Amino acid sequence: MDSFTKKILMALGIYAVFAIIFIILFQTVFMLSFIPSGSMEGTIKTNSVVFSTMYDVNEEDLERYDILTFVAPDDPDITYIKRLIGLPGETIEVKEGKVYADGVELDSSFINELQNQAGDGIYEVPEGCYFFMGDNRNNSNDSRFWDNPYVPIDDIQAKAKCILFPFSNVGSLIYN
């Protein structure tokens, strides 16, 4: 085998190893999500690409206001990305455009327009489950409207960390 052929085979081998590592990482550790809808507008624009991590979605890692990807409760073939609003055991009340957890009004600084009263109600979040809402509250198919309004911990896939595309919107999605 001549020197040129050896170099080509070596380059292909290195490429194959990196490709396998990349595939394994994006099956077990990281997730890229294309966002096709406007339910998170204000925070994540339609047609954005979001980078998420899959290793920090245990019960002790989840906090209110995290943006998470999860299996849609009413259709397991769909993945949603929404903001975590209700924690296990809490009573969430959506009333007159505001959201309360156990009687305490929640932060709404990340929504762009006054929330209408669609989906107003009281939601008792079961243990081991979570309640989600989109940041574009007036145009979001979220926990308020699903037949099964609560997402079990096992259906949560990843925690959104940052927007990668479009480049004009690159930035962190971690709530401060």
From the candidates 39, 48, 52, 140, which is the catalytic residue?
39
Between CA 170 and CA 63 the distance in angstroms is 23
- φ, ψ of residue 166 in degrees (nearest 5): -70, 155
Contact 93, 115 (CB under 8 A): no
Q: Nearest 5°: CA angle at 64, between 91 and 55?
A: 125
> 31, 40, 3: which is closest to 132 by C-alpha?
40
From the candidates 33, 48, 82, 143, which is the catalytic residue?
82
DSSP, collapsed to helix, strand or coil, labels residue 159 as strand
Identify whether 39 is a catalytic site residue: yes
SS3 content of the chain, % helix, strand, coil (to 5): 20, 35, 40
Identify whether 45 is a catalytic site residue: no
> 160, 118, 169, 130: which is closest to 33 by C-alpha?
160
Whose structure tokens read 């929640």?
Answer: 106
* DSSP label at residue 46: T
Catalytic residues: 39, 82
